[in-house]
Structure 1
Amino acid sequence: MNTILPRSGTAFMLRKGERLKITDIKGEQVSDFTCFNLDDTKEYLSSGRTIDYAETIFLTKGHPFYSNRSNIMFNIIEDTVGRHDFLLTPCSADTFRIIYGDENPHRGCFGNLCEALEPFGIDPDSIPICFNVFMNVAVDGETGKISVLPPKSKEGDYIIIEAAMDLIVGMTACSAEMSNNYSFKPIGYSILKNETAE
């Protein structure tokens, strides 16, 4: 299993038919996940289209995830948690400045994704809303107020996705305090081929 260190990110290729296992190593840790079509990076993971077609914001096992061109990019095939977020944008230096009042803010998941995806020719303005694996966001049915709650994931919880096209994947171990119950921890990931982790 590969490890993303706390408050850092990575990027790699995931081929069609390969499975990616994302593991919460210590519990209550979010991973911002995004992906792009390997052959045309102008095609990217779309929160709006995925939620629209699924008719739910609570995406889990059995849901396909769509691109901005309405093509399926991947499917969740296993999920031991069942609560993730696809509403909120990656945390950034501006997030920490505006929400937390930090004078010397961390670059956040957005900055980590920018650095990790740059070698693939993906620029900052091309990074969309991420699928926030293990993030627990509640929406008040009356007011629409959003609350970021501690993740429901425990040590060893995971999801497995299967790529429906060749992908460039960007992932983080999230840097935002509220998202991770105020403790920064690593995220694990493994590419599965023929049920064997690389």
Structure 2
Amino acid sequence: MNPARTRHPRTGPAPAYAGSAQAPASGWTRLAPQTGAAFELAPGDRLTLLDPAGEQVSDLYLVAAGNVAEQFSSGRTTDFGNSIYVSTGSSLWSNRSRVLAEVVDDTVGVHDLTLTPCSQATFDILYPDLGGAPHPSCFGNLVTALAPYGVGPDSIGVTLNVFMDVWTDADGELHIDPPPTRPGDRFTLEAVVPIVAAVTACSAEKSNNGTCTPIDVLVERAATRS
């Protein structure tokens, strides 16, 4: 069992949400299954990722808006946070040892900082039943979303895999269990510096209990919250 479930126990039902698996709530942006998008955030702006159907992962990658060579670092986030478990209160650090964003709300507490975004190679190697057929991927969707900002494929590293349940047993074997999300569960970060946040509705069926579903996104501008 993933120790994050003990460190971040669930209390009560998932938050109420005016949207559903069929349609997003007013003001929210829906990422269709196996797609992605990028959102520009100024300091104080908040980005919320919400699972409207349950058991769906969302890959998240951040780059500094002023210099896209500065990007999210899972290694520094783990190192400086002294934990592989990200949740409310965690800082998301860059490869230049600067905080890009803070996690300000999290109803799940189970996320992954270890795995790279799924790519075509992921499906070629780990899904042999597909026979090498083209498949949507988080990596491909991140590349497309970040290309207008000058971010090349080779610079996209390990993502924060929101809602992804990854853990190792006593023998070091890796396990990926279905995301423990219920409809309405959410994860919110607040930008500390100007950033571009690329987000996906994960494309890997095995990471999403066999079925890929949407992710809803809400951007709240700092000026409208004050």
Q: If the length of structure 1 is used for normalisation, what is the TM-score?
A: 0.95
SS of 1:40 mapped into structure 2: coil
SS of 1:43 mapped into structure 2: coil
Match of 1:54 among 69, 81, 85: 81
Give the superposed CA RMSD. Answer: 1.3
Match of 2:190 among 159, 162, 178: 162
What is the Cα deviation at residue 12 of structure 1? Answer: 2.0
Structure 2: stretches of 5+ with no match in the other structure = 1-27
Letter in 1 for 2:137: G
What do the CA deviations read for 1:43-69 (whole angstroms, capped 9, x no partner)?
A: 000000001111211110111110001
**How many pairs align?**
196
What do the CA deviations read for 1:139-161 (whole angstroms, capped 9, x no partner)?
A: 11x32211110001110000111
| CA distance in 1 between partners of 2:221 and 2:196 (Å) | 17
Match of 2:142 among 99, 105, 113: 113
Letter in 2 for 1:176: A
Correspondences of 1:11-30 after superposition (within 5 Å): 11-30=38-57
What do the CA deviations read for 1:21-50 (whole angstroms, capped 9, x no partner)?
A: 110011110000001000000100000000
What is the Cα deviation at residue 195 of structure 1? Answer: 8.7
What is the Cα deviation at residue 193 of structure 1? Answer: 2.6
SS of 2:142 mapped into structure 1: helix
Match of 2:62 among 28, 35, 53: 35
Q: Which residue of 1 aligns with 2:217?
A: 189
Match of 2:174 among 142, 146, 154: 146
| CA distance in 1 between partners of 2:70 and 2:223 (Å) | 28
Q: Is the 8 A contact 2:202 2:212 kept in 1?
A: yes
Alignment of 1:132 with 2:161, yes or no, is: yes
| CA distance in 2 between partners of 1:94 and 1:5 (Å) | 22
Q: If the length of structure 2 is used for normalisation, what is the TM-score?
A: 0.84
Letter in 2 for 1:115: T
Shifted more, 4-13 versus 105-114: the winner is 105-114
Letter in 2 for 1:35: L
